[in-house]
Homo-oligomer: A and B are copies of this chain.
Amino acid sequence: MTFLKEDTLSHLHQLLDDQNFAHLTQQLDDLHSGHVADFLESLPLDKRTQVWKVLREAGDFEEVLAYTEGEVRVSLLRAMDASEVAEYTANFDADDAADVLQDMPEDKAEDVLAAMDAQRRLRVEAVLSYAEDTAGGLMDTAVLTVRADVSLETVFRYLRLHTELPDKTDMLLVINRENFFLGGLFLSRLLTHDPDARVAEVMSTDVATIRPETSAHEVANLFEQRDWVSAPVVNANGYLLGRITIDDVVDVIREEAEHSLRSRAGLSEDDDIFAPTLSTARQRALWLGINLATAFLAAWVIGWFEATLEKIVALAVLMPIVASMGGIAGTQTLTVMIRGMALGKVMDSNSAWLMRKELAVGLFNGLSWAVVVGLVATLWFHNGMLGLIIAAAIMINLLFAALSGTLIPLLLKRLGIDPALAGGVILTTVTDVVGFFAFLGLASVFLL
């Protein structure tokens, strides 16, 4: 199947608008569960809940739920009873079940745990005891383990006792009697070696392991670099705790990317596009307020030069250009730095080199565009000195932009603040203030 076609979707929306539930249910029944999920995700919250109720009454909603993601899945789960949720998550990996619980109100989550059988509850609670954004929180505790001293034939017989293997099993984990991790037996090797061989001879002992306290970000980088399908989680004493699989890592990568993109605009990850108007407005208001404060700071700097502006009104016309060029150049540097830091390529040892490079880039582009802006300003207002002044102000601001674009993310990281969130505001505050101050200040000295 591919994505739900746009005309099918429009048709479904139309049926919903017409409140034609009989026809809608029939249409949804003919669709792949993944397509029904696409439809649900495309709906605002109130309509989504309405359709969800219809689907649950029709009975087969579990598969649809499995295809939904993020906030949408949470909104659907919240609309269900604890027992329904326990039943629904019964066949989930422990880490996925834990994710579901973490998204629910605390008392309801406890009800769901209580409704699970004892072994299952222990496993889910083990995952819940680690922070959600660590390897421990990502791992699944249901693993298939074998002993090193048995033959591959024995392993084959053991596997046939199962009706299926855990999802994404590319290797069996080899442990000793004390649950100490010894190595991995890749299915690819199990299947291509003599069945009479011992596990110890065929297993890979150089399998990289992950500590439960490793951050989800680092886990994602490792999976991406090493092309893993799964990796064992082992504690400091060498004991096997569980395994992490690629599907959970893909979610981490996608969430990180979403986080970086959204935090630039001061949006939370949770801002479901179909959330109610008021909750969206409230979430975004704070960011507008912070930016308003910095805008007032820039206005205050302009205010120092009221006397100058009164005499030469051309300055008011041109001053946004100086600020804007600095903001754009600084954002370019900032973006490169933040990405480099996120991917682990920028650190203290090469930051001096990077700053020199960014300053050189700022100098080069500052000179080029200062000439252009200076010429245009001279011709526009028939004032050569004004052209020189705006050219100098642009040079100054682009150098400050390069400096701030490099230093601000390094500084924020050292202070433990996410540069993707705060970097942009601070940077444009600097380039606005420096831009207005340099331009109006130089004009006050040389034009009055």
- Residues of chain A at the chain B interface (Cβ within 8 Å): 1-3, 6, 9-10, 13-14, 34, 38, 41-44, 67, 69, 156, 159-160, 162-165, 167-170, 187-189, 191-194, 208, 214, 218, 221-227, 229, 246-247, 249-251, 253-254, 256-258, 260-262, 264-267, 271, 273, 277-278, 280-281, 284-285, 287-289, 291-292, 295-296, 298-299, 302-303, 306, 309-310, 313-321, 323-325, 328-329, 331-332, 334-336, 339-340, 344-350, 353-354, 357, 360-361, 364-365, 368-369, 372-373, 376, 432
Contact = CB atoms under 8 A, between A and B. Distances in A.
A285 B368 contact: yes
A168 to B, nearest CB: 6
A192 B167 contact: no
A298 B320 contact: yes
8 contacts: A167-B227, A246-B250, A277-B364, A278-B364, A284-B361, A284-B365, A292-B372, A316-B319
A336 B369 contact: no
Contacts of A280: 357, 361
A183 B320 CA distance: 63
Contact of A192 (B165, B189, B191): B165
A14 B318 CA distance: 47
Given A227-B167, A291-B325, A339 B261 contact: yes
A interface majority secondary structure: helix
A403 to B, nearest CB: 15
B302 A316 contact: yes
A44 B141 CA distance: 43
Contact of A257 (B249, B253, B266, B314): B253
Contact of A331 (B6, B265, B271): B265
Contact of A258 (B159, B277, B299, B339): B339
A412 to B, nearest CB: 17
A191 B156 contact: yes
B267 A335 contact: yes
B291 A328 contact: yes
A226 B222 CA distance: 22
Contacts of A167: 227
Given A258-B339, A291-B328, A226 B34 contact: yes
Contacts of A67: 225
Nearest to A166: B188
Given A6-B349, A250-B223, A192 B160 contact: yes
A379 B369 CA distance: 39
Nearest to A360: B277
Contact of A349 (B3, B10, B296): B10
Contacts of A299: 317-318, 320-321
A266 B287 CA distance: 23
A309 B258 CA distance: 43
- Per CB-CB distance, the 7 closest pairs between chain A and chain B, nearest first, are A257-B257, A316-B316, A10-B349, A227-B247, A165-B188, A281-B364, A265-B335
A262 B365 contact: no
Most B-side CB within 10 Å, residue of A167, A344, A346: A344
Given A284-B332, A321-B292, A347 B9 contact: yes
Contacts of A331: 264-265
A69 B225 CA distance: 8
Given A296-B376, A306-B314, 17 more contacts: A10-B347, A43-B350, A160-B194, A165-B188, A168-B229, A223-B250, A246-B246, A258-B339, A266-B332, A267-B335, A277-B357, A277-B360, A285-B369, A288-B365, A295-B325, A306-B317, A320-B320
A69 B221 CA distance: 12
A284 B329 CA distance: 8
Contacts of A41: 345
Contact of A273 (B163, B257, B324, B340): B340
A394 to B, nearest CB: 9
Given A258-B339, A303-B317, A365-B288, A1 B328 contact: no
Which of A167, A348, A349, A360 counts the most B-chain CB atoms under 10 A from its CB? A349
A427 to B, nearest CB: 11
Nearest to A280: B361
